[in-house]
């Protein structure tokens, strides 16, 4: 059998899909590009949703933010699904080895009772905040109208579920997997004065209808103060309370938050930079929510690191927002 | 009328061990080889036991490892640490 | 406190790690947090009865899924680096992929959106988490399909603008309206439609025999993504069955509502799968099994066992199942005939089966193929051989619900086209069947909204009044490259060149075959 392959027949006739070429030119495209741009339906929807007849499916007016092209918001990490799970698989492998080590050496059960009690009161209830964040991000993923935006939020939703699970495992290690510590911790979330402003804030976030307002509130404002407060400041403080071993169990959260800054900053910067109207709207949402986030975290700071630590973080958030063309009530703003 | 449950695996090395374990625990099951896949069906009930798999593999085996190679199933699923059962009531 | 660590069993651990993170709200009303849970009339008295269909924590999810993705992308890379497209059975095969990328992949994306939404809507956290995991899986499928087809797109026509086409092209409104229908419904209907009726009852027909067929035709990239996606599908199917059992167990008033949804979505899915039947019987050069055989195994046998299991809840098999079971002998031939005639307006090529392929069809469809379809096909083949390849220039009448042209025939009279019509608020609406007509009758206010491609062309909403302008400008189908007859097409010539053969403008067909 002799098969003569003519060179021209193995040359590609095009380098990428038409919709990718229209954006980036007809050249070989990255996996991120082919997975993320213009694959979502845009027009000619057949039926109005029974649950929201004022809008069509994939309706860009489900937020009051206006973008000429939502695909202008992109992910600096260039996560498509495969890249995302590959990255998280590595992170979980490291976390698994820490949790395994901690479990094997009984690191948590060796802590003083009072310290364990503090973990259950001050840290483990955050698993409920994570579940709220999970719900909010799932809603945003369903409402956002460009894959580049929607996919970042479904990754975020699943991350929050995962981190809620890690926090739960801390309690399961403390109580020897009976669930008693989780019940105790949930009791704090439901009734302890310390958590009520936070629980109210999370429940209020669950009825925010505008998905961009919600991503700003959840992924920038709440996380922007909560993560550094709990996983940096409180982590240091716990170390001083003979709970330094907890630090390796929250490494995932620290790495995760640092990474999330990249895309949340990029997203808000692009949206604020699009128009003065967008910027004004974002500013009004910040004015409304930032003080509430601060007060919701104040009792937690009070009971642990001291309010000065929270004030310092509030200033840092203000600096961060400044770089995005926005302002908040921190001192350095 | 007969009520068949079934499970289909990608035809790969993992599947060969699974098929051996299934055949050992479900002597009535019928194994069908199709392009790129292996389909196993049985009347009413099909069980995959962790213990049998561990014997066949000579190592510890988590029931959830199976998720990587399954293509499809038919039947109610009952899954725990020790087994994965498909059945019709 | 003296504490001994003991390993949790899978079920207990999973409950602690998912639904126990939820709480009863007190600062906001439950019905404001979950506003969409009531309006369909489904009564849920106790979400704690929800059985988690699978128990995968996120750490395990990341681990297993990353492993799957690693394997998958290694194969995509190898396929592209080795020009794997040259090893497929025949270039005609790629036309099935064109239909897949423009017809099915956008549905994976719509499923991602739908599950992300219902993954927020249910007040039961166990159900939410299961739906969210399916959401991100569906995103995976839509993206791996783009990547699997990326290499084919560089070497074949018709794959270059799938999402754009999905929003516009006449036959792609069939799959699009199917998913729009589900996504615009309430959360419980969405799950009954997609998780149960589609994933559990019908999706095997698309993914299992067709992907096995891809393997048989040398398409390593497609079979790999197909089966890798199916490994997620096993979880989705389990969710589908759990959802139905849960709703039915919660309240007896749910039974008639669910039964109506099952009737509706079985019929809608069955109509949608006509396209898959045609892919299997006509577009796979090497055949694994016929559509009728696949229907027998994956619907009649497996579906039969399933509905027998559901009898105890007062659920019966879908209405018009007998019509669907009988139609397995016809639908693939009727669909292929239609696409053959309208090949000027498709992003893939069509052709008449070779003599050998017709012999296979006769063998697989002994009661119908020779009697009803072979004479028509031989006539068209002859016309083509004589330089008169047949194209139908009259735009077809579409069914108001499934949006397929009204091409199907009556169950007991295959010579008679099935057609129903009713007048609603002074307008006349047309349907392909009682199944579709019933669906309309129950929710006319929904189906009158349908974006029917033929009507839209006539109303001048598609960039032009004549088919050629619509096809080129509005659909982005490259005329003379993507569409028309396969034999003699630029793609056919290219394939012959790859295989080192001389160009061949005429159909491959011996005189003896056409007897």
A1 is a domain residue: no
CA distance C473 to A205: 45
Whether C5 and A177 lie within 8 Å, measured CB to CB: yes
From the CB coordinates, do chains C and B have 3 or more pairs under 8 Å? yes
Q: Does C112 touch chain A (CB under 8 A)?
A: yes
**3-state SS record for C45-107:** CCHHHCCCCCCCCHHHHHHHHHHHHHHHHHHHHHHHHCCHHHHCCCHHHHHHHHHHHHHCHHH
pLDDT bracket for residue A5 (50, 70, 90): very low
Please report the ipTM that was assigned to this predicted complex.
0.96
- Stretch among A34-48, A209-223, C204-218, C450-464 having the lowest mean pLDDT: C204-218
pLDDT bracket for residue C8 (50, 70, 90): low
- Tokens for C244? 């139905």
Q: Is the pLDDT confidence value at C19 over 50?
A: yes
CA distance C182 to A1: 53
Which pLDDT value is given to residue C509? 36
Chain C residues touching A44 at Cβ < 8 A:
167-168, 173, 176, 451, 456
From the CB coordinates, do chains B and A have 3 or more pairs under 8 Å? no
Tell me the per-residue pLDDT of A116-141, one tens digit each, with 9 for 90 and over.
999 999 999 999 999 999 999 999 99
Which pLDDT value is given to residue A282? 98
CA distance C98 to C493: 18
Helix axes C220-250, C302-310, angle to 10 degrees: 20
Tell me the per-residue pLDDT of C438-454, one tens digit each, with 9 for 90 and over.
999 999 999 999 999 99
Displacement of CA C346 from its chain's centroid (Å)? 17
Option in A42, A44, A138 nearest C451 (CB): A44
Q: Does A27 touch chain C (CB under 8 A)?
A: no
Option in B4, B69, B71 nearest C208 (CB): B71
Chain C residues touching B1 at Cβ < 8 A:
304, 308
Give the neighbours of chain A: at least 3 Cβ pairs within 8 Å.
Answer: C
Interface probe with A: pick from C27, C36, C80, C224, most Cβ of A within 10 Å: C27
- Smallest CA–CA distance from A57 into chain C, residue: C184
- Tokens for A63? 């937020």
- Smallest CA–CA distance from A31 into chain C, residue: C147
Structural domain total, chain A: 1
Q: How many A/C residue pairs have CB atoms within 8 Å?
A: 280
Tell me the per-residue pLDDT of B33-72, one tens digit each, with 9 for 90 and over.
988 899 999 999 999 999 999 999 999 999 989 888 898 9
- Comparing CA positions, the residue from A177, A287, A304, A295 lying closest to residue A239 is A304
Supply the range of the domain harboring residue B13.
Answer: 5-87
Which pLDDT value is given to residue A294? 97
- Smallest CA–CA distance from A160 into chain C, residue: C58
CATH code for the domain of A134? 1.10.620.20
pLDDT bracket for residue C405 (50, 70, 90): very high
Chain A residues touching C125 at Cβ < 8 A:
131
CATH code for the domain of B78? 3.90.56.10
> What are the domain boundaries of chain C?
49-351+390-499
- Distance (Å) from the alpha carbon of C140 to chain B's nearest alpha carbon: 15
- Stretch among A14-18, A84-88, A105-109, C385-389 having the lowest mean pLDDT: A105-109
A31 is a domain residue: no
Residue that is written with structure tokens 């095969």 in the block: C93
- What percent of chain A is modeled with pLDDT above 90? 91
Contact C390, C383 (CB under 8 A): yes
Who's near A306: CB < 8 A, 6+ residues apart? Answer: none
Interface probe with B: pick from C71, C201, C280, C302, most Cβ of B within 10 Å: C302
Helix (H) or strand (E) holding B7: strand B4-10
CATH architecture observed for domain C49-351+390-499: Orthogonal Bundle (1.10)
Which pLDDT value is given to residue A126? 98
Q: Does B43 touch chain C (CB under 8 A)?
A: no
Which pLDDT value is given to residue C227? 86
Interface probe with B: pick from C213, C225, C227, C239, most Cβ of B within 10 Å: C227
B56-74 per-residue burial string, b: 16 or more CB within 10 A, e: under 16: beeeebebbbbbbbbbbbb
A219 is a domain residue: yes
- Tokens for C216? 């048989």
Structural domain total, chain B: 1
- What percent of chain C is modeled with pLDDT above 90? 86
A249 is a domain residue: yes
Chain B residues touching C10 at Cβ < 8 A:
63, 79-81
Q: Does C22 touch chain A (CB under 8 A)?
A: yes
CA distance C282 to C358: 10
Whether B76 and C215 lie within 8 Å, measured CB to CB: no
3-class secondary-structure state, position C341: helix
Point out which residues pair with A166 in neighbouring strands.
none
- Comparing CA positions, the residue from A326, A236, A272, A43 lying closest to residue C474 is A43
- Stretch among C24-28, C36-40, C301-305, C429-433 having the lowest mean pLDDT: C301-305
Supply the range of the domain harboring residue A134.
Answer: 100-324
Tell me the per-residue pLDDT of B2-24, one tens digit each, with 9 for 90 and over.
899 999 999 999 999 999 999 99
- Smallest CA–CA distance from C232 into chain B, residue: B67
Q: Is the pLDDT confidence value at C511 over 90?
A: no
Q: How many B/C residue pairs have CB atoms within 8 Å?
A: 94
């Amino acid at each position: 059998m002799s098969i003569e392959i003519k060179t021209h027949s193995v040359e590609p006739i095009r380098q990428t899909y038409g919709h990718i070429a229209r954006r980036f030119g007809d050249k070989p495209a990255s996996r991120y590009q082919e997975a993320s741009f213009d694959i979502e339906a845009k027009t000619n929807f057949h039926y109005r949703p029974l649950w929201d007849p004022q809008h069509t499916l994939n309706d860009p007016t489900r937020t009051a933010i206006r973008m000429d092209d939502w695909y202008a918001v992109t992910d600096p990490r260039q996560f498509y699904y495969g890249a995302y799970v590959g990255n998280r698989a590595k992170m979980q492998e490291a976390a698994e080895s820490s949790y395994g080590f901690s479990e094997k050496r009984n690191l948590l059960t060796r802590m003083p009772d009072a310290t364990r009690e503090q973990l259950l009161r001050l840290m483990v209830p955050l698993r409920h905040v994570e579940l709220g964040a999970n719900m909010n991000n799932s809603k945003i993923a369903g409402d956002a109208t460009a894959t580049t935006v929607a996919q970042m939020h479904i990754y975020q939703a699943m991350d929050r579920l995962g981190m809620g699970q890690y926090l739960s495992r801390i309690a399961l290690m403390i109580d020897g997997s009976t669930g008693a510590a989780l019940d105790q911790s949930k009791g704090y979330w439901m009734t302890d004065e310390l958590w009520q402003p936070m629980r109210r804030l999370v429940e209020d976030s669950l009825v925010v209808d505008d998905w961009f307002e919600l991503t700003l509130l959840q992924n920038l404002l709440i996380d922007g103060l909560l993560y550094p407060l709990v996983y940096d400041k409180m982590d240091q403080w716990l170390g001083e309370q003979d709970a330094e071993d907890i630090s390796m169990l929250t490494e995932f959260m620290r790495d995760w938050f640092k990474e999330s800054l990249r895309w949340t900053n990029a997203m808000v910067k692009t949206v604020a930079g699009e128009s003065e109207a967008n910027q004004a709207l974002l500013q009004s949402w910040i004015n409304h929510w930032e003080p509430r986030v601060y007060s919701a975290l104040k009792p937690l700071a009070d009971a642990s690191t001291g309010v000065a630590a929270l004030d310092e973080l509030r200033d840092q958030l203000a600096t961060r927002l400044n770089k995005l063309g926005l302002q908040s009530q921190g001192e350095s703003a | 009328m007969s009520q068949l449950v079934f499970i289909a695996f990608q035809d790969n090395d993992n599947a060969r061990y699974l098929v051996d374990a299934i055949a050992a625990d479900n002597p009535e099951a019928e194994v069908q080889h199709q392009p790129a896949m292996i389909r196993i069906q049985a009347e009413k009930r099909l069980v995959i036991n962790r213990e049998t798999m561990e014997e066949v593999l000579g190592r510890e085996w988590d029931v959830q490892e199976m998720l990587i190679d399954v293509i499809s199933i038919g039947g109610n699923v009952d899954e725990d640490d020790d087994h994965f059962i498909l059945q019709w009531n | 406190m003296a504490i001994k660590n003991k390993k949790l069993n899978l079920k207990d651990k999973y409950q602690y790690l998912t639904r126990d993170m939820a709480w009863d709200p007190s600062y906001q009303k439950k019905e404001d947090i979950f506003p969409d849970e009531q309006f369909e009339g489904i009564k849920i008295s106790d979400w704690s009865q929800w059985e988690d269909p699978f128990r995968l924590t996120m750490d395990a999810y990341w681990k297993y899924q990353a492993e799957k993705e690693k394997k998958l992308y290694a194969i995509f890379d190898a396929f592209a680096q080795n020009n794997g497209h040259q090893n497929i059975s025949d270039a005609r095969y790629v036309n099935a992929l064109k239909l897949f990328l423009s017809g099915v992949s956008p549905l994976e994306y719509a499923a991602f959106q739908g599950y992300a939404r219902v993954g927020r809507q249910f007040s039961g956290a166990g159900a939410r988490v299961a739906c969210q995991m399916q959401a991100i899986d569906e995103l995976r499928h839509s993206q791996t399909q783009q990547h699997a087809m990326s290499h084919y797109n560089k070497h074949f026509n018709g794959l270059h603008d799938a999402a754009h086409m999905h929003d516009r092209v006449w036959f792609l409104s069939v799959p699009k309206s199917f998913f729009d229908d589900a996504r615009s419904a309430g959360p419980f209907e969405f799950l009954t439609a997609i998780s149960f009726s589609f994933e559990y009852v019908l999706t095997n027909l698309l993914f299992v025999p067709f992907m096995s067929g891809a393997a048989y035709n040398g398409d390593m990239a497609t079979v790999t993504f197909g089966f890798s996606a199916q490994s997620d599908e096993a979880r989705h199917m389990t969710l589908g069955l759990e959802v139905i059992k849960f709703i039915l167990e919660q309240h007896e008033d749910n039974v008639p509502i669910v039964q109506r949804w099952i009737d509706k979505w079985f019929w809608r899915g069955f109509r949608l799968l006509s396209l898959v039947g045609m892919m299997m019987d006509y577009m796979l050069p090497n055949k694994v099994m016929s559509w009728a055989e696949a229907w027998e195994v994956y619907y009649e046998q497996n579906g039969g066992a399933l509905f027998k299991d559901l009898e105890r809840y007062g659920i019966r098999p879908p209405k018009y199942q007998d019509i669907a079971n009988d139609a397995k002998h016809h639908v693939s031939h009727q669909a292929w005939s239609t696409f053959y005639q309208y090949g000027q307006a498709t992003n893939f090529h069509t052709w008449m089966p070779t003599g050998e392929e017709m012999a296979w069809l006769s063998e697989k469809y002994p009661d119908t193929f020779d009697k009803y379809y072979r004479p028509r096909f031989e006539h068209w083949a002859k016309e083509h051989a004589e330089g008169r390849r047949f194209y139908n220039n009259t735009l077809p009448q579409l069914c108001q619900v499934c949006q397929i042209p009204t091409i199907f025939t009556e169950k007991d009279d295959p010579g008679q086209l099935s057609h129903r019509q009713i007048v609603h608020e002074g307008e006349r609406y047309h349907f392909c069947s009682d199944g579709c007509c019933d669906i309309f009758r129950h929710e006319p206010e929904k189906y009158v909204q349908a974006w029917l491609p033929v009507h839209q062309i006539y109303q001048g909403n598609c960039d032009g009044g004549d088919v050629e302008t619509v096809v080129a400008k509005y659909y982005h189908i490259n005329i003379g490259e993507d569409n028309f007859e396969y034999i003699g097409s630029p793609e056919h010539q290219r394939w012959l060149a790859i295989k080192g053969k001389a160009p061949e403008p005429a159909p491959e067909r011996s005189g003896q075959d056409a007897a």
